Chains A and B, each alone.
Chain A
Amino acid sequence: MSLLGSFLVNLAVFVAVAVGGGLGTAWYMIETGSRLSTRTFGPWTTWTAAGRPDADPYTRAHVLRNALLPLSTTLEMTYHARADSRGGRLHSACEYAIVVEGFDTAWWSIAAFDGRGGVIQNPAERYAFNTDTVMREPDGRAVITLARDARPGNWLPIGGGSRITLVLTVQDAAWAAASQEGSPPKPLPEIQRIACR
């Protein structure tokens, strides 16, 4: 290979690795996060310093880029799930069951969004359940069913043929403190896929 050819090859590799690698890793760390800034519990992922003034640069960039307005994680933890407990991508063509238990005195909410964080249009105009609106079983558990068509009990409608993101919010200072130390005091709800069309 000629001297010019060798120079061009090195230049192309240099630019590709520097720009592609630099921007690509920054994008990954800001959008997806790593163990430096997030914790994952089953299908649920949380940005551990979201909303805090002492948050790391990745968390701050994540909050800004996504136009989020989180409460400090010293009070409230927000968990996002884009997959079910077996790793399958959450999709509106499928039906899921979420069993919520173990939050005791904590206030909690589960909401379904599309992939971009928009609420999902449905005739029932129901987009979330929380501590006060969910119906409980005699043993205190709450079973929430995500499905396109109506289901008995706590039905959270999903439709539109798109990917789904679930957001679980738990507001309790003791819970948040335990989560900051390592893991939540109780396991987070499983997301069980029941069927797909």
Chain B
Amino acid sequence: MKLSRPTMPKWPREIGWRTIVGAILLGGVIHIVATFAVPALGPAAAMRKLREALPPNQMVILRPAAPGKQPLPFLAPDAFHAICRYDVTTSPVNVSAVLGDPGWTLSLHTPQGDNFYVMPAQQLRRNEVSFTVAPGGDRTADFGLARRPSGSETFIETPTSEGLIVLRAPLRGLSWQAATEAMLRRASCSPVARKR
């Protein structure tokens, strides 16, 4: 019995090299546009998810993640989070917090998730921190604040007028839960009172 050779479809032979090269070039453009469009079109996914739960310039303590009650995906479930959605449009923001044991962190994030400042708790260090978050450049002077702060003041310039301040407190166990919450309650975030 004679087997007939499988025949290749004819349409691939119709594809010109210009089509392939042009498609690859346009594909590259689409790749770049799509990559840059994600930050531009999906403004601050984490910020968007947290916005409703966080009044501006106010520290809010979030319970550790539990099934169905998780503010963000992959957020550490073995930690309390105190988060402040800061807004320095009308006034800089004073922040103070106590950092407990190693693992505690105080971090500042832009709406895009960039962590432009972070302070970890360290043993044998003074763990009370306070600073002022202010807009960068000349805008600091707009609010009546000195461009050069005194030695006792710390300014942190934020690249965006809005963002998140996150105090993360890992749980050491149920016995320490009340103490951890008490330390978190000492954290504050409030607009700077204007000088008259």
How far is it, in angstroms, between the C-alpha of A53 and the C-alpha of B118 when the chains are bound? Answer: 12
Whether A119 lies near B67 (C-beta < 8 A) is yes
Quick check: is B103 within 8 A (CB to CB) of the other chain? Answer: yes
Q: List 26 A-B contacts (CB under 8 A).
A: A1-B10, A9-B11, A10-B14, A10-B16, A13-B23, A14-B26, A17-B24, A18-B26, A21-B24, A22-B26, A26-B34, A26-B35, A51-B113, A52-B114, A53-B114, A60-B113, A64-B42, A64-B112, A64-B113, A65-B38, A66-B73, A111-B77, A111-B78, A117-B74, A118-B70, A125-B66
Chain B residues lying within 8 Å of A55, measured Cβ to Cβ, are 114
Chain A interface residues (CB < 8 Å from chain B): 1, 5-6, 9-10, 13-23, 25-27, 29-30, 51-53, 55, 57-58, 60-61, 63-72, 75-76, 107, 109, 111, 113, 116-121, 125, 127-133, 165, 167, 169, 171, 173
Question: Of B28, B65, B159, which contacts A22 at CB under 8 A?
Answer: B28
Complex CA distance for A18 and B22, rounded to whole angstroms: 8
Q: B62-73, CB under 8 A of A: which get 1 and which 0?
A: 000111101011
Contact A132 B16 (CB under 8 A): no
Taking a contact as CB atoms closer than 8 A, the residue among A5, A64, A167 that contacts B39 in the complex is A64
Interface of A is mostly: mixed
Number of interface residues of B (CB under 8 A): 62
Do A64 and B31 contact each other (CB < 8 Å), given the known contacts A116-B73, A133-B173, A171-B120?
no
On whether the beta carbons of B11 and A21 are closer than 8 Å, the reply is: no
Contacts of B164 in A (CB 8 A): 69
Residues of chain B within 8 A (CB-CB) of A61 are: 35-36, 38-39
- Is B135 interfacial (CB 8 A cutoff)? no
Q: Is A121 touching B45 in the complex (CB atoms < 8 A)? A: no
Is B114 touching A69 in the complex (CB atoms < 8 A)?
A: no
Most chain B C-beta atoms within 10 Å of own C-beta, residue among A58, A109, A119: A119
Distance to closest chain A CB from B175 (angstroms): 11
| Residues of B with C-beta under 8 A to A132 | 101, 103, 170-173
The interface residues of chain B lying within 8 Å CB-to-CB of A129 are 78
Minimal beta-carbon separation of A18 from chain B (angstroms): 4
B15/A21 in contact, CB under 8 A: no
B48 partner residues in chain A, CB cutoff 8 A: 67
